Structure formats: C-alpha cells, structure tokens
Structure 1
Amino acid sequence: MAHYLQKILPEKKMQLYHHPLDLDSQRVRISLEEEGVDYTSHHVNPITGKNLDSSFFKMNRRGRVPVFQNGSHIIYNTIDIIQYIERIAVVSSGAESISTSNREVIEWMQRIQDWDPKFFTLAHIPEKYRVYVSKFIRQVVIARMSESPELAGDYHRKLREAYETEEKLKEADVLRRGKEHLVRLLDEVERQLCETPFLAGQDFTMADVMLIPVLARLKLLDLENEYITGRPNIAEYWLLVKQRPSYKRVIGKYFNGWRKHKTLLKTWFLVRIRSLLKRY
C-alpha cells in the first residue's frame, strides 16, 4: 500500500497541458475541479499550433491535449487521466481503501468517449476559416520539422493527418456517421435521464463530467435547439449542470456572453497575424 501511495500522491504540484476550447481538456479540468485537486495550468492551443512546439511534442508525439503530468508520470488518455485524478483525491482524503467510479459509470464514460467530435465540429465551421487554419497548421508542421529533424518522422505523420482530415471532410458518409453516432448517444442519454437525475444514478459522477463538454460543444456551435432543446430530459439536465461551480470555472467562464467571442477572436487574430508575417 505504501508503494502505491507513493506512486499516486503528487511528487510536486501536478501539471496539466490543455486548452479551454478542447473538449477532452474540459473533461479533465472539470474532474480536477470536482475532486478539488490542485494543479498548474499550461495553455496549449492546437489551433495556433502550440501543440506542435518541440518542447510539447517531445512529451506527446501525437501532439494532442490534454496531457497530465505528476512528476515523471505522464498520462495522455482522457479517461485514464480522470481515473487517476479520482485515485489521487481518494488517497489524499486519507481513505484506507481505493474506491473510484463503478462499472456503470465507466461504461458511460467509454460510451461517450467513443463519439469523436472532430469531424462533426469541423463540418460546422465555415469552410473558408477551416481551410485557412488547416493550411496554417500544415505550415507550422513543416517549420517544426525543419527545426527538429530528430522528430521528422512524427511531424510527417501529423502533416499526413492534416491532409487526410481535409479529404475526409469531403466524404458525406464520414459526416453522416458522426451525426448519427451523436444522435444515438443523445437518445440513449435522454432515456437514462428519464429514470435518474444524473447519467449514472442519483449522484453526479465522472460520467456526467464526460457528457457536459459534449453539450457545451453543441451550444458553442449554435446547435442547442437541434440537439438539446428537443430532448426535454437533456434540456433540464443541461440547466442543472450549468449551475455547478466546476462548469462555471471551466466552460462558462470562457463561453458566456462576450467571453465566447473574445476567446475565438483572439485565436483567429493570432493565426491571421502569424500567417501574414509567415511566422510559423
């Protein structure tokens, strides 16, 4: 047990590399807020290519956020990070046994994680902006490849991934499958919320932590009426979870009123300026 505690308890203040616009980053941050776990925040904006800087890329060759670091221990998978945070919270509380999310909660977490928001989100962004950012990101990859030739293979994989994304966005089947998957998930959630106030029962759990950013993404894309309002149980649930302090600090802070436009405009401005100056 002592060896386990040594591995779980923070070696020093934990580090989270994330961005407020990123759905999985939101999930991890909400779990940290809900569990009361302290951490140091590092913003890594994938839209401006900060995830491709060699210092971050060496840590995670996929170039994706979030990344969670506790000393020498680094975790990339969102569900793994959340479960690790749960264990930290339990051990830090002085509990003698480790008790975290039950099977039902974990099944819901995985079910929600199985829906990939990438193509769905990109398909709802005006093409001229999407193509502009895609071209910018490809230029960033090429620049970083030149600066760090030892990482050329990994950067080349990211470049290929960017081209493949643009091609897949032209395929109607890819977009249709993403939408159908989302609809099935929301319908299942709607049925569950007819039985219980939260996704896995009477209490708020990590299953809800996984779901909340999906609803926030739909709101951000102005799709609330299409996907949330017409599902009365989800609509009521959405009003409820938006009152939680964790939601307000992680998502509401950035997407309520003028702050939503500030967050998006700041990112777009940085991309435009760096493109004009060719500062990749």
Structure 2
Amino acid sequence: MQLYHHPLSMNSNKVRLALEEKNVDYTAHRVNPLKARNLDPEFFRQNPSGTLPVLKNGSIVLCESLPILQYIDRINEPLGDNKVQHDRVEEWVKKIDEWDAKPFTLSHIPDRMLRFFSRFKRRVVIARMAKNPDLANKYHTKLNSMHAMEEKLKDTEALEANKEQLLNMLDDAEDQLSTTEYMAGFEFTIADAAMIPVLARIELLKLNEEYLEPRPRLLEYWERMKSRASYKKVIGGYSSQLKQLKLVLPSACNVGVRNVFKRF
C-alpha cells in the first residue's frame, strides 16, 4: 500500500492517523505542495485535481480522504468494532469532510506569503500545460480552481459561512462528547481520525481561545487525543509553529530560487 501525503495536509493526516491506528503496513511518499510537486506530470496523471492524499493499493487508486478512510476501515475489523455506533461514525466522517478547511486555513495566512506561493503555483501550472499537451485541459481546470479559491478568499460572506459551518460542527462535537468518550462511542474510530487534524489546525493557528476553550468537553477530548501514539507520530512532530516553519522555510527558499531562474 502506497500513500502520497504531506504533513501540512489535513486530509493526509486524517488518513495517516487511520492507518496508524489500524496498524496497516504502508509506504509513505511525501509530495510537497508548497514546491508544487503535486502538479508534476507523474503525480497529476494519477490525480488531476492535484490534491493530497492519494492511496494506491495494487490496481486501486483513491484520491479523496473520505473514500480512503472508508476503504481503510474495511480492512479487517473496523476501528471501534462493536463498541461504537457505526452509523454515527459515517455521519461524523461525512460531516467533517463537507467542511472545506482550505479557505479557513488560507484566510489566516499572511497575505504576502499567500501571494508568494500562489503566484509560483500559477506559473508552474502554465509551464506544465505547455510541456504536457495531453494534460493541458486538466491543468487548465486546476488553474481555474486556483483562481476560484483566490476569489473566495476575498468574499467575506463565503468566509463567514465557512466559519459558521466549523462552529456548528464543533458545537455538535461538544454535545456528542457529553455522552461518549470519542466521536462515535467509547472507542477510537475513523471519525476521530477525521476530527483530530481539524483540532490540530485550530491550535496551530492559535485559535484555541475562540474555538476550543468555550467547549470544555471538546478541549478535554483534544488533550486526550494528543497523548495517543498515532497523533505523536503523524502530527506531533509538526505541531508547533517553529516546527512548521522548518517545513515551510526550505520550501520558500526553493521556490524563491526557482522564481529567479524561472525553473517552473
């Protein structure tokens, strides 16, 4: 089993948490979206959306976190076994998947940094279109989606609706945790694997005071989840802004050099 991922990708982290919790043997391949490696033709041919993660198992190729999580959970016994409500697991995984974390994240990144990487990625897409005519239409679709996200970040109503969706989801989680220890019962499930990266992103952006502290049960749950071995392996090593900076800074230097020499 091959997993193409990146530590900064929330959806990648959902999948890796599930794989670690189920003790599934897999080989991890890091694809750096900051360097636009997700736009390289070799990767783009297997996933024209250019998103992470991608899971390959023999002839099976899955490119979205929701079907990947569901696929992983069908390997042997599902996480939680008979100690959880499996319809509630499915409900939570879909609810979390329906919330688009990208505008929330990007709206909290400094504009200068956002423009730096966005401009570079647009140049990469245009260069790839010219060099790979068989993928031109797919690269053009990707370019349009990038423009659409840039417009969405200017739309205050859309951003507010995205925030409200997150708040409602966190409120629902607070209610859920009043009766269960985990998101769908009394054992860890893929619903927890999906929720943990959301909480990790909130903490990374230093938004605990607004989003987590008013919800004491969710905050206590979050502290418990951080003690799990899967969290420590998948997210813990990149949980602080300093550690994230160590990921971002080399990529920024690489992008800067490639911009200067026009190596897209």
Report the TM-score, using the length of structure 2 for normalisation. 0.94
- Rounded to whole Å, the distance in 2 between the matches of 1:258 and 1:134 is 22
Deviations, residues 50-70 of structure 1 (Å, cap 9, x unaligned):
111000011011111111000
Alignment match, 1:66: 53
Q: Is residue 2:3 matched to residue 1:16?
A: yes
Aligned residues of 1:28 and 1:81 also touching (Cα < 8 A)? yes
SS of the equivalent of 2:55 reads: strand
Equivalent residue letter for 2:87: R
Same amino acid, percent of matched pairs: 47
Alignment match, 1:51: 38
The 3 A distance-change label for structure 1 pair 257 and 117 is closer
Equivalent residue letter for 1:166: E
State the 1:78 CA deviation: 1.2
- Rounded to whole Å, the distance in 1 between the matches of 2:108 and 2:241 is 20
State the 1:148 CA deviation: 0.6
Aligned residues of 2:35 and 2:255 also touching (Cα < 8 A)? yes
Aligned residues of 2:204 and 2:240 also touching (Cα < 8 A)? no
Extract unaligned runs of 5+ from structure 1: 1-13, 92-99
Alignment match, 1:234: 218
RMSD over aligned CA atoms reads 1.9
Structure with the larger RCO, 1 or 2 (CA within 8 Å, 6+ apart): 2
State the 1:144 CA deviation: 0.8
Report the TM-score, using the length of structure 1 for normalisation. 0.89
Q: Is residue 2:126 matched to residue 1:139?
A: no
Alignment match, 2:262: 278
- Rounded to whole Å, the distance in 1 between the matches of 2:57 and 2:13 is 19
Query: Aligned match of 2:74 in 87, 92, 102?
Result: 87
Alignment match, 1:5: none
Deviations, residues 131-189 of structure 1 (Å, cap 9, x unaligned):
11111110010111111111000001111111121112111111111111001100111
Q: Is residue 2:151 matched to residue 1:164?
A: no
Deviations, residues 22-77 of structure 1 (Å, cap 9, x unaligned):
01000000000000001111111222211110000110111111110001111112
SS of the equivalent of 1:88 reads: coil
Deviations, residues 74-130 of structure 1 (Å, cap 9, x unaligned):
111212111211222439xxxxxxxx9811111111011111011111111111111
Query: Aligned match of 1:202 in 179, 186, 189?
Result: 186
What is the total number of aligned residue pairs between the two structures? 261
